Chain A
């Protein structure tokens, strides 16, 4: 390795193939579809993943809709040991990673001979298990904690379990616990590891399981919508919590071309920033700084960007701050800006990973997924959110925003290869 190829900021076409990173496999488990094909259909149709929450007892909450992955059957994908030995978030990350590898046409035996970067983002890790411990504590005291749950709580298991299931020994496993932008952090980390020659293959994305803790936290902050999530709508009332996983398999362009892989999209670059401002409220200038650094890293100008997949939670605070930041960077002329959370709910650490999968599919198939449940755009947002109906579009560059509690911002820029 040398350090000449490590700084990006150059247009992708000017980079050597060994320093270009492409997405060649997609793994997706979501409330609107499982697998790339079904997910694409869901995105095109503007499908809603909303249903009444069943993950925990919702007695006493006045509103309790969410976006759950129904009929999740991890045992079809997890073969090494009983799937029930993993927490639900780890089940999601493992199945999505295996699906991404299969989708990429990579034989698992061959993968075991490669150096693999596994980066999985999450907000809550195995907080659903932690909820069960909390319930034990209340009913019987902490003396009654379940040993099986106690052993699998550490958030590192979301990434380490991928290596265990796929029997990858030459892997660096990292769980990025940067909350609701963590999927983008994970993809960015894999991008750097590949460009620097630290890894041959990267399995990156995000996973979260619906849990009482997160739902209650957002509820307490007054941000849970009563029925649907309506980002950028003047009558929006907040988020719906969701769950699922998105994992992309990435490799250098050199590697993808050598094995004749299908290329969904190229990762052009990414940016990170921290607000250093408030634990839960976003800060406009820091979001702008993050977007600018991502575009610089990608070697593209704002006018090159055809679509923004916004963080777009559907809270007033987020939507107004984020759309102002977008208008700031795009000098009042932003491209079409959608929120996938209208369909998927807020899948926490999986959100920006599922969005990256969606952006890759949008680039591949030439369409823009809609922002559903939309009636009237908030004049304070001033963006075209592609309401309710998907549209066909040739997308060359797409920006994927992820914002989070703790002011952890991460923006990934994808391009058509």
Chain B
């Protein structure tokens, strides 16, 4: 696809496995289930269980300065980007050339609804908490990450459903290839909240049981000029839709296009990672990957351990893939596929080369 190398040099995650890359790798290695019984004093949603980031409280984790009104999704993103920047020996580029790209569904449904609720219940309709305002806009989290870490390059928030983490990689790729950034921190974040849990509950027919909800943030450092051998190379991202109603066909088409763009053959792929979507979308995704790669090379989605993380789900699949690659030298130099699909009609696939020999 391109002569330039799109290197993934490092990553971090704040997830139901805990904080940081090591906690995530350990969780994947040990196949830890993270669902917990929800504290009814703290949470008022329809769910009894969820996969929460353990002990995550914004002000405890980030301190009291500048966090008074900060919502959970922003806290998760600021904590993850902070951890990634602290560990990133490789990110020796000026912050003016460092871009930040974050996938989301709606920002924070809770903050958005809370702002209007404040308007509807206050003494005057405009007596709302001003500190909440930036967080009731979808780019609030990415903007705060920029402020906290001085990231002055392109700053983008994008919504592309469950494939958002893969589409974000494509956005990062374009920023790098066009020279708009020398390095990109790229990923996605999703918070658990009462509002999100209720919205998810009502979005299913007759309140049918759905997957356990999870939350967290995963971010990856990308650059075209890695100083050390990267963890992986992004070879291609391909997106499509099932506007024709054919979910399985859409996933398969995305995978084939990613393979073709990356110059890879299906039979050489080490593993294909589905996103663990619920319902018809998830079934179609598995069927497409089984058809292309055979069931033995189709991985188990990390969503089985950390729950449905919506906008962050594809980023967590990438984190899980890199976790498995850390533990298995046989993957070195081989390609892997990550797919995702959304009930809104979209699908995407990414092709990576793991631990490329450099």
Contacts and interface: CB of A to CB of B under 8 A. Distances in A.
Interface in A151-167: 151, 153-161, 163-164, 166-167
A286 B152 contact: yes
Contacts, number: 276
A216 B119 CA distance: 7
A213 B108 CA distance: 13
B306 to A, nearest CB: 20
Interface residues of B, number: 88
B155 A407 contact: yes
Contacts of B124: 60
Contact of A189 (B109, B136, B143, B174): B174
Given A173-B241, A192-B178, A280-B133, A155 B106 contact: yes
A274 B161 contact: no
B147 A277 contact: yes
B198 A145 contact: yes
B9 interface: no
B326 interface: no
Contacts of A177: 104, 107, 138-139, 157-159
Contacts of B179: 6-7
Contacts of B138: 122-123, 125, 155, 177, 179
Contacts of A154: 105-106, 159, 161, 344
B240 A6 contact: no
B160 A130 contact: no
B174 A192 contact: yes
A159 B167 CA distance: 13
A279 interface: yes
A7 B174 CA distance: 10
25 contacts: A7-B178, A61-B126, A125-B159, A130-B106, A143-B198, A145-B202, A150-B202, A151-B202, A157-B344, A160-B346, A161-B344, A166-B243, A169-B241, A169-B253, A170-B253, A171-B243, A178-B155, A213-B115, A213-B116, A216-B116, A216-B126, A217-B137, A278-B147, A405-B137, A407-B146
Given A217-B128, A217-B136, 6 more contacts: A142-B195, A172-B348, A175-B160, A275-B152, A276-B146, A279-B140
Interface of B: 1-4, 44-46, 95-96, 99-100, 104-107, 109, 112-121, 124-128, 130, 133-134, 136-140, 142-144, 146-147, 149-161, 164, 167, 170-171, 174, 177-180, 194-195, 198-203, 205, 239-244, 250, 253, 342, 344-346, 348
Interface of A: 1-3, 6-8, 59-61, 122-127, 130-131, 133-135, 137-138, 142-143, 145-147, 150-151, 153-161, 163-164, 166-179, 185, 189, 192-193, 195-196, 198, 212-213, 216-217, 219-221, 271-280, 286, 289, 293, 404-408
